Amino acid sequence: MSPRTPRGASGAARRAGSGTRGANGAKPGLPRKEDPAKKRERGMSVLRTLRKEFPSAHTALRHENAFQLLVATILSAQCTDERVNMVTEDLFRKHPAPADLASVLREELEKEIRSTGFYRMKAKNVIACSSMLVERFGGKVPRNMEDLVNLPGVGRKTANVVLGQAFGITSGVVVDTHVHRLARLLGFTKEDTPEKIEADLMELFPEKDWIELGTLLILHGRKTCKARKPDCPACPVNHLCPSSAV
Ligand code: SF4
């Protein structure tokens, strides 16, 4: 007998990124209506299961301090963490502190970070961000969301990464492309913008779990629930996922 065709391969990926509706009028892959308490319980079961799968979950971006994590996260847009780590190894050796990157020549920085993609915009933002840190914050990375999102090139996602991973400060849930996709596939949200998805996740999960939740969903998205081909048969949370193909 041939194995059941996984809805996951293209179906789950499509459902995560599309706003189309299924035959029953509900968004495909999501239960039409789920009791809020049951949804919360299911969410916590997903979290507990992923915790076992990734017992020492943390960002894969190599850094020695908050500033380096900030720069690495800016560089990671549309780029793999592995590539960013390759680039930052030399970059941080040559320019370890905000004052160093604030005064680097833009053309020089563009060359150094070229392989991360979108290098012109990233170089501009890294220099402007480093300059602002030097001028307004005494070369230190601020420890609050409001100041962080005012830095050039820094949005809520980057700010959440820095606050959570560098300072252990909970301010929200990191919503990158993996979290965006998985939150929808797992039926935690029906929203389609990072801000609204983050708000739904903050509502569904206890604040103490917000930092870990983002990291675990990212790791799960990279390893198993990949954008192009979610591996539902191998997924440890397939029994908890409304989009599962098995
Ligand atoms: S979370 Fe697991 S079961 Fe659900 S779509 Fe992704 S891989 Fe499939």
Q: Report the CATH number that the domain containing residue 119 is assigned in CATH.
A: 1.10.340.30
Co-location of 156 and 72 in the same domain: yes
Co-location of 70 and 125 in the same domain: yes
Last residue of one domain, picked from the residues 167, 189, 220: 167
Q: For residue 50, what are the domain limits?
A: 8-17+30-54+173-240
- Please give the pLDDT value at position 172: 95
Q: Say how many domains are in the chain.
A: 2
Which of 232, 239, 246 best tests ligand 1's pocket when mutated (most atoms within 8 Å of CB)? Answer: 232
Atom of ligand 1 nearest to the CA of 16: 5
Q: Rounded distance, CA 25 to CA 18, Å? A: 14
Whether residue 102 contacts residue 133, with contact meaning beta carbons closer than 8 Å, is answered with yes
> Does the pLDDT value for residue 24 go beyond 60?
no
Co-location of 96 and 159 in the same domain: yes
Residue 245 counted as domain residue? no
Provide the 10 A C-beta neighbour count for residue 99.
13
Q: Report the CATH number that the domain containing residue 202 is assigned in CATH.
A: 1.10.1670.10
Whether residue 11 contacts residue 185, with contact meaning beta carbons closer than 8 Å, is answered with no
- Please give the pLDDT value at position 19: 40
pLDDT in tens, 31-42: 568 899 999 999
Residue 105 counted as domain residue? yes
Is 230 a pocket residue for ligand 1 (Cβ < 6 Å)?
yes
- Please give the pLDDT value at position 11: 55
Last residue of one domain, picked from the residues 167, 192, 224: 167
Co-location of 146 and 75 in the same domain: yes
Q: Please indicate whether residue 200 is annotated as part of the active site.
A: no
Co-location of 142 and 224 in the same domain: no
Query: For all residues of the chain together, what is the average pLDDT?
Result: 89
Co-location of 138 and 226 in the same domain: no
- Please give the pLDDT value at position 7: 43
Burial (CB count <10 Å: 0-12, 13-18, 19+), residue 68: buried
> Does the pLDDT value for residue 5 go beyond 50?
no
Co-location of 87 and 134 in the same domain: yes
- Please give the pLDDT value at position 81: 93
pLDDT in tens, 137-167: 999 999 999 999 999 999 999 999 999 999 9
Residue 126 counted as domain residue? yes
pLDDT in tens, 52-73: 999 988 899 999 999 999 999 9
Co-location of 13 and 104 in the same domain: no
The pLDDT-based confidence of 6 (bands split at 50, 70, 90) is very low
Would the CA dihedral through 45, 50, 51, 53 be positive or negative? positive
Burial (CB count <10 Å: 0-12, 13-18, 19+), residue 188: buried
Instruction: Tell me what the mean pLDDT of segment 186-203 comes to.
Output: 97
Is the pLDDT higher at 140 or at 18? 140
Residue 113 counted as domain residue? yes
Residue 22 counted as domain residue? no
Q: Rounded distance, CA 32 to CA 107, Å? A: 53
**Listed residue (137, 171, 132) closest to 153, CA to CA:** 132
Residue 60 counted as domain residue? no
Whether residue 242 contacts residue 46, with contact meaning beta carbons closer than 8 Å, is answered with no
Residue 2 counted as domain residue? no
Q: Rounded distance, CA 195 to CA 82, Å? A: 27
Last residue of one domain, picked from the residues 144, 167, 190: 167
Question: What is the distance in A from the centroid of ligand 1 to the CA of 152?
Answer: 35
153: left (phi over 0), alpha (psi -120 to 50) or beta: left
SS3 230: strand
- Please give the pLDDT value at position 21: 37
pLDDT in tens, 69-96: 999 999 999 999 999 999 999 999 999 9
Q: Rounded distance, CA 87 to CA 145, Å? A: 27
Co-location of 81 and 143 in the same domain: yes
Q: Rounded distance, CA 100 to CA 68, Å? A: 12
Q: Rounded distance, CA 15 to CA 9, Å? A: 11
Question: What is the distance in A from the centroid of ligand 1 to the CA of 47?
Answer: 14
Co-location of 116 and 185 in the same domain: no
Residue 246 counted as domain residue? no
Q: Please indicate whether residue 94 is annotated as part of the active site.
A: no
Co-location of 71 and 160 in the same domain: yes
Considering the candidates 33, 176, 223, 226, report the single residue annotated as catalytic.
176
Co-location of 84 and 133 in the same domain: yes
Structure tokens at 160: 């959440």
Which of 18, 224, 241 best tests ligand 1's pocket when mutated (most atoms within 8 Å of CB)? Answer: 241
